[in-house]
Structure 1
Amino acid sequence: MGEENFLFLSLDAALAGDLAWQVSKEGHDVRYYIDAEQDREIADGFVPKTSDWRADLDWADVVVFDDIWVGDEVGTGRLAEDLRAEGHAVVGGTPSTDRLEDDRGYAMSVLESNGVEVLDHREFADFQAGIAHVRENPAPYVIKPLGEVQNVKRLLYVGRESDGSDVVDVLRAYEKAWGHRMKGFQLQRRVDGVEIAVCGFFDGDGFVEPINFNFEHKKLFPGNIGPSTGEMGTAMFWSGRNRLFRETLGRVEDWLATEGYVGSIDINCIVNRDGIYPLEFTPRFGYPTIVLQQESMESPTGEFLAGLATGDAPDLRVHHGYQVCIRVVLPPFPFDDPKTYDENSRNAAVVFEDGDGPTAPPEGVHIEDAKRVDGHWRVAGESGMPLVVTGMGETMAAAREQCYDRVDRVLIPNHYYRDDIGERWIDGESDRLHAWGYLR
């Protein structure tokens, strides 16, 4: 494959900086558009920027959307569909695939109509109706906000009490604190088991093999406690079309082909000896999942993305072992507190120990909310998520060791991260998934 022109689009938060940087390092011409004013300095010094993405459409060979959101509204699927109709090669969704993430009830109906068993669930627009439902049907539930506010990850609540009494208390609190913003919520029966996401890259006609299986770590603190975040780290491996895939993403392959979907899509599930229970879709790149996937790809990233967008049977060669990444964060993450951010994190220096000097990162260091000024790395944006650090190995333990050895060389005042990413696999999740027959 020769040199191509790639246009990366962040029409809400800036998420695609590292992906654009990797494609640029492979020799392709890249332009990156960021719509959110507070994020526009992210990836400065790493990739060229553009201020008018529509003017660059004729220049671009491949257009890549990084999320489903256009500001506060869902909308990149419609844009991607329109651009494909005009003849552009696009990595992005459709209105219906966007809806899989925005409308949890719709997502469950798509799964059910394609033969996938789902947990009992119900959507509510009224808090008192939800409280009445729990009282009439006592059980442990998970509260999942709907619409734009679902991106406030700490609002997801996993009930603990068998009668749902704690869920009733949380709903009452949410009504007072968030009633003006939450357009609704879903109550889903809670089940116990191993949480695992099944992720595939779709080229418009079918899934590209191998399939990715990953384990999200959304709580802030080790031991899976504290507030929920977008993600603190991920452990993963690649495999073939095993039972986990066949009974989840494999069931919607024809539906996605009818839609003409192009890109990454995953289903996060709870698995136990009784079955596989899908929880939610991510019909886009996951973050920092895509960083770890890209690090473990032996195929060039730009070539692979272009193959997805054109439907030209992209080759996907990957590291056949295990991979781990951690998100390095700064105060006040995961909360919004401009004063704390200004005092502790804004424009903080990012320095690396050893290597070729303080500005040269070790292998496996990727940017999120970072910029490069006169050769020096700095924290950018407003969120306090400057870096993702990765590691790979023939075992999960070896992948963890490499990842944490690399993060030890990151020197940023006040930074923090989880130190237990990948431990759940070692401590028994691997044994259970194999014993239950899901990975054959």
Structure 2
Amino acid sequence: MDPARFLFVSADAALITDLAWQIHREGHEVKYYIEAEADREIGDGFVPKTDEWRAEVEWADVIVFDDIWVGSDVGTGELAQELRADGHAVIGGTPNTDRLEEDRGYAMDILEAHGVNTVEHHVFHDFDAGIQYVRERPAPYVIKPLGEVQNVKRLLYVGSEDDGSDVVDVLRAYKQAWGHRMKGFQLQRKVEGVEVAVCGFFDGERFVDRVNFNFEHKKLFPGNIGPSTGEMGTSMFWSERNELFEETLGKLEGWLAGEGYVGSIDLNCIVNESGIFPLEFTPRFGYPTIALQEESFESPTGQFFAALARGDDPDLATHRGFQVGVRVVLPPFPFDDQTTYDESSRNAAIVFDTPDRRGIHLEDTKRVDEQWRAAGESGMPLVVTGKGETMQAAREQCYGRVDDIVIPNCYYRDDIGERWIDGDGDRLQAWGYLGPQN
């Protein structure tokens, strides 16, 4: 295809830098807008920037929103819907698809209305009511905050006590520490099994044929312990539509078409021998999922997303094996501590032992006089990826690339992909959800 003009919009924090960089390297024109003042240096030296995205709308052939948030409010879906109505090609949601992430109770209602099995769940706007509910129905529960505060990932809590006593204790603590910000929460009955996310790209009318299955690693430390983070790493593979897809996202195809949704949508699930239990939506790009997906694309990235935004029945060729991505982070991630960040991480130099940059993806990074440096204030400079015919081969390539990077004080999980090797893959195959991989 001829080069296209892409306008990337981060209406809150900067998240989409790597995709903008990839498309820019493919020869397309790119302009990138970042709303958050603390993030505006992210991507400097890698992609061209703009200070006012609305002034570039008529210039752009494709407009890409990276998240559902406009500052502390949900709102990019409304912006995307308005721009599409004016005839622009846009990757982004709608007010209703934004709500799938912001309002977990609404998300479950949509799933149930379309015949998708859901786990027992209840939404509360009062801490004492939630505590009383657990006391009357003792069991392990998961606490999922609602609204803007859900972006503080460490507040998600997975209960472990059969009588729910730990959940009661955590709700009491949240009431005291977070009651002024946490406007509500969902209690979800804990289900044991394999956690897997089903992800598809939707072009406004239908899903692209290739389906992505990914496995998130949210805890900070290896072995899945420590505080929850946005994500520490992801493993994945691609396949054709199968039972796991058809029983989840596949049942929402008509609803998404009615919404006119365009972009990536992900449904995280727990799967066991008894069934499939959806947990939560990501109706936008996932991070660092999109970086790992880019690494596995065998179609030109810009060509694919331009066709997706225009509803041109995009074709997507993907790597036929497995992929692993690791987030390399700096102190005080995942916490906010300005002093620690200033002393340990701000402007940290990123040094490579080899000139090879394959598998290296940007997060909070800038380039100054050809030197890569940490940027912003979140402590997430890089995602490093690998791929192979087996999950173990993908792990070896990924961690071999990590070993070639030197960043003072950096840390990362060294077990991404092991869950698949240790039995998750066998269980999913034995239960019949995946079918033959293609």
Question: Do Structure 1 and Structure 2 share a fold, with TM-score over 0.5?
Answer: yes
Residue of structure 1 in register with 2:433 after alignment:
438
AA matched with 1:105: G
Residue of structure 2 in register with 1:151 after alignment:
151
State the shift of 1:126 in Å: 0.4
Asked if residue 188 in structure 1 is aligned to residue 188 in structure 2, the reply is: yes
Residue of structure 1 in register with 2:198 after alignment:
198
Residue of structure 1 in register with 2:411 after alignment:
416
In structure 2, what is the Cα distance between the partners aligned to 1:187 and 1:52?
A: 41
Would the aligned equivalents of 1:389 and 1:406 in 2 still touch at CA under 8 Å?
yes
Would the aligned equivalents of 1:20 and 1:32 in 2 still touch at CA under 8 Å?
yes
* 3-state SS in 2 of match to 1:415: coil
Listed as ranges, the gaps of 5+ residues in structure 1 are: 356-360
Asked if residue 160 in structure 1 is aligned to residue 160 in structure 2, the reply is: yes
State the shift of 1:263 in Å: 0.0
Asked if residue 227 in structure 1 is aligned to residue 222 in structure 2, the reply is: no
In structure 1, what is the Cα distance between the partners aligned to 2:306 and 2:347?
A: 34
Residue of structure 2 in register with 1:402 after alignment:
397
State the shift of 1:362 in Å: 2.8
In structure 2, what is the Cα distance between the partners aligned to 1:126 and 1:5?
A: 48
RMSD (CA atoms): 0.5
In structure 1, what is the Cα distance between the partners aligned to 2:349 and 2:427?
A: 43
Residue of structure 2 in register with 1:104 after alignment:
104
In structure 2, what is the Cα distance between the partners aligned to 1:379 and 1:232?
A: 17
In structure 2, what is the Cα distance between the partners aligned to 1:296 and 1:178?
A: 40
Which deviations, in whole Å up to 9, do the C-alpha atoms of 1:308-342 show, x marking residues without a partner? Answer: 10000111000000000000000000000000000
In structure 2, what is the Cα distance between the partners aligned to 1:267 and 1:58?
A: 33
Q: 2:384 aligns with which of 386, 389, 403?
A: 389
* 3-state SS in 2 of match to 1:420: coil
In structure 2, what is the Cα distance between the partners aligned to 1:41 and 1:406?
A: 26
State the shift of 1:209 in Å: 1.3
Would the aligned equivalents of 1:269 and 1:279 in 2 still touch at CA under 8 Å?
yes
AA matched with 2:320: H
Residue of structure 1 in register with 2:315 after alignment:
315
State the shift of 1:97 in Å: 0.1
AA matched with 1:346: R
TM-score by length of 2: 0.99
TM-score by length of 1: 0.98
* 3-state SS in 2 of match to 1:64: strand
Would the aligned equivalents of 1:203 and 1:308 in 2 still touch at CA under 8 Å?
yes
Aligned residues: 435
Residue of structure 2 in register with 1:358 after alignment:
none
Residue of structure 2 in register with 1:255 after alignment:
255
In structure 1, what is the Cα distance between the partners aligned to 2:83 and 2:362?
A: 29
AA matched with 2:314: P
Which deviations, in whole Å up to 9, do the C-alpha atoms of 1:85-120 show, x marking residues without a partner? Answer: 001000000000000000000000000000001011
In structure 2, what is the Cα distance between the partners aligned to 1:256 and 1:295?
A: 27
Would the aligned equivalents of 1:362 and 1:409 in 2 still touch at CA under 8 Å?
no
Which aligned pairs between 1:6-17 and structure 2 lie closer than 5 A?
6-17=6-17
Would the aligned equivalents of 1:206 and 1:253 in 2 still touch at CA under 8 Å?
yes
Residue of structure 2 in register with 1:173 after alignment:
173
State the shift of 1:205 in Å: 0.4
Would the aligned equivalents of 1:195 and 1:215 in 2 still touch at CA under 8 Å?
yes
State the shift of 1:294 in Å: 0.7
In structure 2, what is the Cα distance between the partners aligned to 1:330 and 1:303?
A: 34
Percent identity over the alignment is: 74
* 3-state SS in 1 of match to 2:401: helix
Which aligned pairs between 1:6-405 and structure 2 lie closer than 5 A?
6-355=6-355, 361-405=356-400
Which deviations, in whole Å up to 9, do the C-alpha atoms of 1:390-415 show, x marking residues without a partner? Answer: 00000000000000000000100000
In structure 2, what is the Cα distance between the partners aligned to 1:156 and 1:123?
A: 14
* 3-state SS in 1 of match to 2:176: helix
In structure 2, what is the Cα distance between the partners aligned to 1:59 and 1:180?
A: 43
In structure 2, what is the Cα distance between the partners aligned to 1:381 and 1:96?
A: 31
AA matched with 1:394: E
